[in-house]
Every structure is written in C-alpha cells, then in structure tokens.
Amino acid sequence: MARGRGSGRGTKAVKGPAQRPSKAKAKSGRVTPKQVGRYTPPVPKETKVSPTWVPALMFTCLLLGMVIIISNYLNVLPGGTKNAYLFVGLGLITAGFVTATQYR
C-alpha cells in the first residue's frame, strides 16, 4: 500500500478568507464589521424587560407545587394522601416552568 506524504491521520489545513492587512484596523485598534467581512446583526434599540411579577409568579408556582407534593407524602393535607394533590402540585410546577419561558 503506497501512502502519500505523512501518515494521513492529520487534518488538512483549510484555507479561509484571506487575512486583511493590519491597515484595516480602525484608529481605535478595533476591526469594524465591514473590515472583517462578516455580518453583524444590528443592536436592538429597545431591550425587552419582564415586569417584576413574572419571576415572582414563577417562583411562587414552583415552590407551592413542591410544598403540596411534599405535604401529600407527609400526610399533612386534609383527606390523607390523594392523587388529586399530586396533580395540583405537578400543575403548579408546570405553570412555573411555562412562566419561566416568558421571563426576559
């Protein structure tokens, strides 16, 4: 078996876009997007911020759901251990996760 140069195990160098000369740098020493040639999306003018009730509702649902499930297993809730308490606890935890997806 004839092999070419080297063992053939290494990766071949992939040539990318040609490097621009150092003259392409701005006066501040940074390269601007037009000089590099890559697309940079524009910075949004307004950043969206969630109201304070969103994380409060999220943590309330998560903690209340967890407390209900633990209380059910400890037989603290009225009526003994019931599957309905588990479903209510899991529903609250799910609502907490859904609320967490709305947080910005």
Domain tally, the chain: 1
Residue owning tokens 């697309």: 39
Within the chain, how many helices (H) and strands (E) appear?
A: 3, 0
Whether 35 is covered by a domain: the verdict is no
Q: What is the pLDDT of residues 26-68, one digit of tens each?
A: 556 666 655 667 888 888 888 888 899 999 999 999 999 999 9
Whether 93 is covered by a domain: the verdict is yes
Q: Tokens representing 104?
A: 């910005």
pLDDT band at 99 (very low <50, low <70, confident <90, very high): very high
Its domain, for residue 62, covers: 53-100
pLDDT confidence of residue 9: 64
Whether 39 is covered by a domain: the verdict is no
Whether 41 is covered by a domain: the verdict is no
Whether 63 is covered by a domain: the verdict is yes
Whether 94 is covered by a domain: the verdict is yes
Whether 81 is covered by a domain: the verdict is yes
Torsion of CA 73, 76, 77, 80, to 10 degrees: 70
